[in-house]
Chains A and B, each alone.
Chain A
Amino acid sequence: MRVTYLDNNATTRVSDEVIEEMTPYLGELYGNPSSMHTFGGQLHRKIEEARGRVAELINAEPDEIIFTSCGTESDNTAIMSALESYPQKRQIVTTRVEHPAVLNFCKTMEQKDYSTKLLPVDRLGKLNIDELRETITNNTAVVSVMYANNETGVIFPVPEIAEITKFRGSVFHTDAVQAAGKLPIDIKKMPIDMLSISGHKLHAPKGVGALYIRRGTRFSPYIIGGHQEHGRRAGTENVASIIGLGKACELAGKNMHEENTRIKALRDRLEQGLLKSCPDARLNGDSENRLPNTLNISFEYVEGEAILLRLNEDNICASSGSACTSGSLEPSHVLRAMGIPFTAIHGSVRFSLSRYTADDEISLVLKRMPEIIKELRTLSPYGRKAAGTL
């Protein structure tokens, strides 16, 4: 059965063009770019080409990009670097809705005598900018705020936050793992010091990421060893994946328009269709400032894992913020931070689209979802409270 893949904020399909570009470097061109001989050394040029492509996606200079192993490494590296560069400053400012790559790293730093201020969000998942402004002090080493949230797609006003942070004299890092390739980012127009990118979220393979480091930003490497990446990230380059990431960034740039027109239209069709056909469904997050591909919707009186496993019977892939899908029995920290009632968190489902999403995939979900919700509500002791089954 064909897979209907609507879980692109989890990971994406590697595009055929990317695979094609990478293939020779997994096979006959296996050299080490650090070697003196042409066979290996020639790969260096390909890596620099990829660097240029990644830089272009966010209008950066190639020497401002380093390659890493994933988005998490980029996030860890950025925050650690800021802390080590300003050792007298002991505070980190971030938000309650960050990815664990940032949140758990900050928690670990608390054991090393750093304090972390987690900024709250409102019902729509938006930050209070005045509170952010008041929170940053002379003691703040780094402010790390994600560009867009992975669960709800809510976009933060990063240009404004970057300006505030710069004015206060702290380092600003943004986890742009979900935003890069989906939103136009012009790094020259906002004072972002560091920005994280992950390959597998934009149709490159897993196991490769990038970190943008603005020229002039103090930097301290996280992985220590050889001279690769001009000493800023040691370790033999993941040549094929880096080349793949470069190609994927180039394609993302070209497809940006489609992302914000066709994909957005499909997402809106799915959203409106589900809200209409499923009683007691509600949208989670700010519908205005949102990634064009993301839909987070709660179905009251039913539980998310049950929905996902029913969808799974039709090979439809999505995610849920329900406690039962988290592996730790803990419901989504993002939806809880937004003050969404537990009843709605348990029944939350995230659909995330990509440029490979086809019309008929959306049609299939629109057909199956009301049936599944109705079936599960029949099973549920609260089902009768739902208007649709009365």
Chain B
Amino acid sequence: MASELGRSLRLAVCTILIGAVAYPLTVQAIAQAVAPEQAAGSLLRREDGSVIGSRLLAQPFRSPRYLWPRPSAVDYNAAAAVGSNLSPAGDKLRAAAAERAGALRLGAGRAVPAELLTASGSGLDPDLTLEGALAQVERIAAARQRPAAAVAALVRHRSRRIPGEARRLVNVLEANLALDALP
């Protein structure tokens, strides 16, 4: 029994050196070599070096001048992310969705893109569908005093396809940066 324990301890040390020391250091070396930007969190910075956010994470946007991302159960807290965990058939979600639909103020008769009424799994979904972005164009154009067609063209231009899906996606933070960069 004592030798069993001794040999197990020895094996534990050996596997710790492999799985918790050598392995992560190797992965870090690979990550630094192939994708140093991504390794640090895909951060977008201002010219002075301060961090605006991560390309991969949604942020809160409340001004009518910007695209608003999908709802978040944790108000876009990127240090404690979580989904709503509400039943899709339950009354709590029904109430939350009705409130979100009212806040969007898309105008009577316009269908609301479903992703703007439902919270994402992480609370940090960085994307909208193109429909979800285009639905917000009129508000943004009015707030920026620009033609709606120009804003719509910008959003369309920034949309991307994912394999097997008819709907195109738009990264909200990147699109908002592009909006601010409009001449």
B is bound to A: no
Q: Which residues of A contact B (CB under 8 A)?
A: none
